Amino acid sequence: MLLQYFGQSLLLCPIYFASALLALQLTRFNGGVAIVWPAGAVLFSALAAMPHRRWAMALLLCFPAGALAIALRGFGGAYTLPLTLAGLFEAWLAASLLRHLSPRFTRFESIRDVVSFLLVAGVIAPAASAFIGAWAAHGATGIPFFNAWRDWFGAHALSLVTFAPPIFLVLRRRRLDAAKFRRERLGEALVLMGAVSLATLATFGQNRIPLVVVPLVPMVAATFRLGRIGAVASLLVLICGGLIGTMTGHGPTMLLHLDMPTKLLVLQIYFACVVLILLPVAAELESRRRLMQNLRDAEALHRLIVERTGDVIMRVNLDGTLRSVSEEGARLWGYQAEELVGRSAYDLVHPEDEQAVFDARFQALCEPEGTVAVECRVMRKDGGSTWVESHMCATLDPRGVPNGTVSIIRDNSARRRLIENLAHEANTDPLTGLGNRRAFDRAMARDRKAGGSGCLALFDLDHFKRINDVYGHATGDRILTMFATLLCGTVRAGDVVARLGGEEFGVLLRDVSLEQAGLICERVRTRLAESEGRSILGEVVRVTVSVGLTPLNADMPPEEAFRQADAALYRAKGAGRNQMAIAA
């Protein structure tokens, strides 16, 4: 691995040396600083594209290459070392700052990447290195410090902005969207690059008409059609053609009545402007491409979920009209999805549950960050209703303002039935099917709260233990069931009957006088005494019942009513059983 890193860094040395030597040879005029400095862009781009742990080796190997180029064609002498260090420092500073500001900047995938690059490579790094370069140039040739600083800053800033982006993208070639150049798009790419080449030739192959805008048309087209790789290929064609044309005395800069250094600066300004046009466009296009890809992925996932889930996914506009309903889910209610779109969502809600759904939806719209759950009944197409559980949240427009809700609705019928069954079992005596003590106490409490009147009757089967002992518990259960049936068939429909425990039963006789209640209890006692039970062997089993009766009123606590009725019951038991006693 170390040898691989060393080999890659070693390959950088001749490129850095060649670019520095050519720049010093061709763009250094009147003993000043080089007007074009692609070597800085080469090193900067290489550092930005490689892991941080390899920077030291790359800088160490590029140091002698840069020093040799400066010694051969630069100021030379004692200023070779500081000038070499200035170039290395510039590339290191730019790469370090960008690594912290925007770790993914070499991909130019967003406007932030472009702005960070322009700020660091176009201002901060060249401005910092210019102080070292200006000091060396002033010391070596006597050039005024400010003039040397200005020339260094302008040349290095323009070179970094111009040359670094295409080098970045070339070094990142494996991460570029290579699919753009698949076989089916190769023809389009060749046509676009041919158009860029012809426009560049028309601009820099003559020096009579300034056609500087002409290359922009095919370059922008290539960027739109091919993305970042189209932008980098176009820039490479333009920069190479522009430099060759200018150095051979052709191109629009030849129309300027200026010296060659100034013409090269103008050319770099032109290149930098083109870069500033294409890079943001390429970044925005890449951002939009990724956004569209994410949207397509989300849409595919959404479609898969909607098609595979048994839940109903419903989108509702702000005014309550249905925007969309999942097809499979709507069928659960007997509808087709198109039948529901445009209707009010509240048309599907059971009238008794409309307010609960309205309140839940209002809460979801007021708290767009949260999710609200509500249970309600949905009206099916056949007129029936189905219990559902709906989880809803607000949908937002581009300004972040709620514009509706989206709900995931799950059939809750089985759960509701289970809850109802459990509630029924919790309040029902399993043997007789009557209410138990818990249900009876609730009925007593409700009647008292409502201010109802009536009577409480307690029934206790006489000598029931002896029946169990003689005939067995199975016969005892038969007797209990027989009495429960007789009791329910004798009292009125609105009365509450319950098995309170063992052989004791309670009846809440509603809205009756004590005399009427006594007649009902006597009828129960008499009918039981005249009835015949049967053991599991077919034997006749006769049984009687004792009754305790007490009147009720709104001021009497249930505990007191039970105490009085129980006392009356035991008086009846003590008086010989098979009779009724009324509380004193």
**Structurally, how many domains does the chain consist of?**
4
> What pLDDT sits at residue 306?
61
Q: How far apart are the first and last CA of the chain?
A: 105
Same domain for 30 and 153? Answer: yes
Which CA distances in Å does 355 have to 31, 35, 323, 346, 350? 87, 77, 21, 10, 10
Q: Count Cβ atoms within 10 A of the Cβ of residue 548 and give its class: 0-12 exposed, 13-18 middle, 19 or more buried.
A: buried
Q: For residues 57 and 111, state if they share a domain.
A: yes
| Residue range(s) defining the domain that contains residue 535 | 428-582
CATH at 397: 3.30.450.20
CATH assignment at residue 148: 1.10.1760
How far, in Å, are 18, 92, 201, 555 from residue 442 at the CA level?
97, 82, 97, 16
Say how far apart CA 27 and CA 437 lie, in whole Å.
105
Q: Are residues 432 and 572 in the same domain?
A: yes
- Same domain? For 334 and 377 the reply is yes
Residue 423 lies in a domain: no
Residue 26 lies in a domain: yes
Residue 479 has, within 13 A of its CA and on its CB side, a CA count of 32
519 is a domain residue = yes
Residues 157 and 12 in one domain: yes
Would residue 422 count as lying in a domain?
Answer: no
User: Is there a domain that residue 243 lies in?
Assistant: yes
Q: For residue 546, give the CATH number of its domain.
A: 3.30.70.270
Residue 449 confidence (pLDDT): 86
Cα separation, 570 vs 550, in Å, equals 13
Last residue of a domain, one of 393, 417, 441: 417
Is 347 within a domain? yes
Q: Compute CA distances 407 → 75, 99, 361, 442, whole Å.
A: 74, 43, 10, 37
Do 389 and 529 have their domain in common?
no
Asked whether residue 294 is domain-assigned, the answer is yes
Same domain, 406 and 434: no
Tens-level pLDDT at each residue, the chain (584 residues): 434 444 556 788 888 899 888 888 887 777 777 878 889 989 998 888 888 888 888 888 889 988 888 888 777 678 889 989 999 999 999 999 988 887 665 566 667 777 888 889 888 999 999 999 889 888 888 888 988 898 888 888 888 888 887 787 777 654 444 444 555 577 888 899 999 999 999 999 998 888 899 999 999 999 888 887 788 888 889 988 888 888 888 989 888 888 877 887 788 788 888 888 887 888 778 778 878 888 887 777 766 666 666 678 888 998 889 888 877 667 778 888 788 888 888 888 999 999 999 999 999 999 888 899 998 888 888 888 888 888 999 988 878 888 899 888 888 777 777 877 777 788 889 899 999 999 999 999 988 888 888 999 999 999 999 999 999 999 999 999 999 999 999 999 889 999 998 999 999 999 999 999 999 999 999 999 999 888 888 889 999 999 999 999 888 888 999 999 999 999 999 999 999 999 87
3-state helix, strand, coil in the chain (%, to 5): 65, 15, 20
pTM > 0.75: yes or no: no
- CA of 182: how far to CAs of 62, 177, 283, 434, in Å? 37, 10, 21, 79
End residue of a domain, out of 308, 324, 349:
308
Residue 12: closest CA among 53, 51, 59: 59
Residues 449 and 392 placed together within one structural domain of the fold: no
Sequence letter at residue 263: K
> Phi and psi for 357 in degrees, rounded to 5?
-65, -40
For residues 506 and 459, state if they share a domain.
yes
Q: State the pLDDT at residue 160.
A: 87
At 239 the three-state DSSP class reads helix
Q: Are residues 4 and 112 in the same domain?
A: yes
> 125 and 25 share a domain?
yes
Last residue of a domain, one of 253, 277, 308: 308
Domain annotation covers residue 91: yes
Does residue 148 share a domain with residue 194?
A: no
